[in-house]
Amino acid sequence: MTARKGKLYVVGVGPGNHDHMTHRAKTVIEESEIIVGYDTYVSLVEDLIEGKEVYRYAMTQEVERANQAIDFAEDGKVVALVSSGDPGIYGMIGLIYEILSEKGWNRDTGIYVECVPGVSSLNSCAALVGSPLMTDFAVVSMSDLLVPWDIIVKRVEAAAAGDYVTVIYNPASKKRIHQLKDTRDIFLKYRKPETPVAIVKGAYRESQTIAITTLENMLQHSEILGMITTVIVGNSSTFDYNGMMINPRGYRSKYDLVKKDGGQESPTYAGMQQ
């Protein structure tokens, strides 16, 4: 009798609100016999995993939970390794593939592995604050646990010099205080102090808190800066309109955006930096 081939789903559950979880994510969680994940992320899908075998881990135990999930799949089980957001953006799928590559995993004959994408913080936070990601943007993480700080500084400098709208993950923690200040100082070399900045804590969760501020004043919101906070720094074209962060796509240079009925002039973008 041929041994049952195991499956490993690395599942992005989005921000945690089930309305923003994909149908595929719900389907594979339902199919899975075993659930593995960081305790906080497992709690986000508590109502979907009743009766299943569940293994919860503390923060910083990524290698342990990845190996356990792989071991279960290699034993013929159907496993869901849950992540918040998207597992392909600062998530667990990269570590899974790193471990499998070291084990000599064969995609055709080995365990079945599927990355189930989810809504990442850059998507959910942008949706809450307007339309900040309409042009080219960069994403950087302030966490220097795995990436040396001098490398992060080079990436921040490149994003700032390139006039990219920049999404900042993991902006601060109890141990990381100077990183965001250093990052803001780099951006101030290239952008005006009044450049719009959005700070979103716990998007679509009960703890959700939003602040629309400026590059100059962003550090004044330290009470909402933390590991579940995302910061979006505008570029030279981004403007604040009624508390929304708007990044023009460029249509205005080619089209009349408002019909000029009765001789009415097309309005200008108030606050837009020329």
Using pLDDT thresholds of 50, 70 and 90, give the confidence band for residue 249. Answer: confident
89: which 2 tokens? 């953006």
The span from the CA of 98 to the CA of 252, in Å, is 46
For residue 237, pLDDT beyond 70: yes
For residue 232, pLDDT beyond 90: yes
Q: For residue range 7-48, list pLDDT tens digits in order.
A: 999 999 999 888 999 999 999 999 999 999 999 899 989 999
Give the catalytic positions in this structure.
39, 52
Direct distance between the N- and C-terminal alpha carbons of the chain, in angstroms, rounded to an integer: 72
Q: For residue range 97-149, list pLDDT tens digits in order.
A: 999 999 999 999 999 999 999 999 999 999 999 999 999 999 999 999 899 99
Higher-confidence position of 168 and 260: 168
For residue 256, pLDDT beyond 80: no
Predicted confidence at residue 271, as pLDDT, reads 46
Average pLDDT estimate for 72-100: 96
Ordered by where they begin, the domains of the chain are 7-119 (3.40.1010.10), 122-253 (3.30.950.10)
Edge-to-edge strand ranges of the sheet holding 244-246: 130-131, 244-246, 239-241
C-beta separation of 201 from 207 below 8 A:
yes
Q: How many residues does the chain have?
A: 274
The whole-model pTM stands at 0.88
